Amino acid sequence: MHWRIHNERARPVQIDTAVQPHAQFRTPETKLGRDLSAHGAIDIDLPVRFNEEPGTVVENPFLILRATYEGVSWRILLRVQVTAGIRGEPIASRTLSVSTDRVGAV
């Protein structure tokens, strides 16, 4: 699965890992170690287990990134909708929501 990740911040972000944990749209945690410059963008390609019939809509799959920003570890959750294309390939919609949580915060 191809993702284009944008940094809207004025400082760089380190993208440490990515995972897609949905039962119908799964990628195990993958180490990335990618630098994302201030106001920049990077492309991330992840293998994905996806075995759906063409036209099937999978609700609420997430791309979860673990990132480091100014020395602090963050979890970034991007919720999308995925539809199986004419060959059964996954096609993600635009991002429906983004949330961030500081890792270890209560």
Q: Which domain holds residue 51?
A: 2-102
pLDDT of residue 85: 95
The domain total for the chain is: 1
67 in Cβ contact with 13 (< 8 Å): yes
pLDDT of residue 17: 98
Task: Give, for all 106 residues of the chain, the pLDDT tens digit.
Answer: 889 999 999 999 999 999 999 989 999 999 999 999 999 999 999 999 999 999 999 988 989 999 999 999 999 999 989 999 999 999 988 777 999 999 987 6
Q: Which tokens belong to 49?
A: 């287990």
Contacts (Cβ under 8 Å, ≥6 apart) of 11: 38, 69, 70
